Amino acid sequence: GAGVSQSPRYKVTKRGQDVALRCDPISGHVSLYWYRQALGQGPEFLTYFNYEAQQDKSGLPNDRFSAERPEGSISTLTIQRTEQRDSAMYRCASSLEGLAGTDTQYFGPGTRLTVL
């Protein structure tokens, strides 16, 4: 079956512009995670959704970052007034059940964001 998909795969933007990154989880998956990954480092947790409820947003770096999942399926991560330090790979993951501690996360291919 289809895995997690993300779009766009690559995004180049100018400093100060807003960007919206989309994640399409595996159909029927309850949980959705967003991560940011800098080159040579492990993924950094940003936020977590259980269905449409954003249950943990403790990893969002500042108020320029926001995420939503209005119908409990597709999710959008929005970065306002982008800065060069926002350049990174943004990854989305989904899991079938909302079982804290034990769920298996399936990762998408990521969106490579470059802020000029």
Partner 1 sequence: DAKTTQPNSMESNEEEPVHLPCNHSTISGTDYIHWYRQLPSQGPEYVIHGLTSNVNNRMASLAIAEDRKSSTLILHRATLRDAAVYYCILRNTGGFKTIFGAGTRLFVKA
Residue ranges in contact with partner 1 by CB under 8 A: 4, 31, 33, 35, 41-45, 48, 50, 55-56, 58-59, 91, 93, 98, 100-102, 104-110
- Cα-Cα-Cα-Cα torsion 29, 90, 34, 59, nearest 10 degrees, comes to 170
The minimum distance between CB 39 and partner 1, in angstroms, equals 12
The minimum distance between CB 36 and partner 1, in angstroms, equals 11
The CA distance from 71 to 111, in Å, is: 22
What are the beta bridge partners of residue 37?
89
Q: Mention every residue, 6+ apart, whose C-beta is less than 8 A from residue 99.
A: none
Between 53 and 116, CB nearer to partner 1: 53
Q: Mention every residue, 6+ apart, whose C-beta is less than 8 A from residue 86.
A: 79, 113, 115
Between 35 and 65, CB nearer to partner 1: 35
Between 90 and 115, CB nearer to partner 1: 90
84 in helix, strand or coil? helix
The minimum distance between CB 23 and partner 1, in angstroms, equals 12
The minimum distance between CB 54 and partner 1, in angstroms, equals 11
